[in-house]
Amino acid sequence: GAVVSQHPSWVICKSGTSVKIECRSLDFQATTMFWYRQFPKQSLMLMATSNEGSKATYEQGVEKDKFLINHASLTLSTLTVTSAHPEDSSFYICSARGLGGDGTEQYFGPGTRLTVT
């Protein structure tokens, strides 16, 4: 149980275009989803937290107009990188927290590698 998927697993896009990444909780309802960015050989940096049906809360320094997050249902959140540039190339990972358990655990997706050319 507690499986989180991401699609696509990798994507290459041209500079100036937009890319949408999906994050799905397959076997549980995710009240909260998180989006992280990971640079090569570095740690995960939280970009934003989203709760179903409400606006995402962005971390300081993250451009909300560039990284659009939508959490329209309890099983799906999307991250859209708008007008992508080479510096946006990174590994994007989502995680989800459900209603059950002790409420502390986040389940992570396998990540999406974005390359902007």
Partner 1 sequence: AQSVTQLDSQVPVFEEAPVELRCNYSSSVSVYLFWYVQYPNQGLQLLLKYLSGSTLVKGINGFEAEFNKSQTSFHLRKPSVHISDTAEYFCAVRRFGNEKLTFGTGTRLTIIP
Residues of this chain that interact with partner 1 (CB under 8 A) are 4, 6, 32, 34, 41-46, 49, 93, 95, 97, 102, 104-111, 113
Element (H, E) at 48: strand 44-51
Closest to partner 1 by CB, 49 vs 82, is 49
- CA-CA distances (angstroms) from residue 80 to 51, 94, 117? 16, 13, 17
Nearest residue to 81 via CA among 32, 22, 5, 6: 22
Closest to partner 1 by CB, 13 vs 46, is 46
The nearest distance, CB 16 to partner 1, in angstroms, is: 27
The nearest distance, CB 35 to partner 1, in angstroms, is: 12
